Amino acid sequence: MVYCTKCGTKNNPTEKYCAKCGNPLETSNKTWEKKIEDGAEEFGKKAEQWGEEFGERAQQWGQKFEKHAQEQWRTLANIGAIFGVLIGVIILLAGILLLAGINLFRLLGSVMMVAFGIIILLSAIKALTKKNLTKHY
């Protein structure tokens, strides 16, 4: 027996239409083939949609990573510039002190300690003022 998918009426397997409502009847082989075909088509559409969504997310992640990397690079470049300026100042002071005849080795230790303290302090302040450095993606 074949049941109508619309009204549920029993029909003879040889009938092409439901005796009660006239809905076209399908044989069991055609029904399974159709279900498999429809399921495969639906899965293909969903897979394509998932792929597009994943591609969009990957592009967004890439843009966020690039922005974060640029911010980190700028921070490192600023620290390097500050360090370079401080080393330049130390060298200038050492030259002036040598020309003035002041004992350089006694002052050099204290000047270097102050310089490195300033570098560490400026780096810490810069890191604390940068809000996005601790944001994870």
Total of domains in the chain: 1
- How far is it, in rounded angstroms, from Cα 126 to Cα 64? 21
Residue-wise pLDDT for 50-105, tens only, equals 989 998 999 999 888 888 888 777 777 777 777 777 777 777 777 777 777 776 66
Domain that holds residue 85: 2-134
**Number of neighbouring beta carbons within 10 Å of residue 57:** 10
Most confident stretch, 31-35, 56-60, 86-90, 109-113: 56-60
Instruction: Note if the pTM is more than 0.85.
Output: no
Closest CA to 82 of 127, 15, 17: 127
The DSSP H or E segment spanning 27 is: none
**In this predicted model, which residue has the larger pLDDT, 41 or 33?**
41
**Number of neighbouring beta carbons within 10 Å of residue 44:** 10
For residue 36, how many C-alpha atoms fall within 13 Å in the half-sphere facing its CB? 6
Average pLDDT over the chain, rounded to an integer: 78
- How far is it, in rounded angstroms, from Cα 90 to Cα 114? 10
| Maximum pairwise Cα distance, the chain | 119
- How far is it, in rounded angstroms, from Cα 100 to Cα 64? 54
Say if residue 133's pLDDT is above 80.
no
For residue 102, how many C-alpha atoms fall within 13 Å in the half-sphere facing its CB? 10
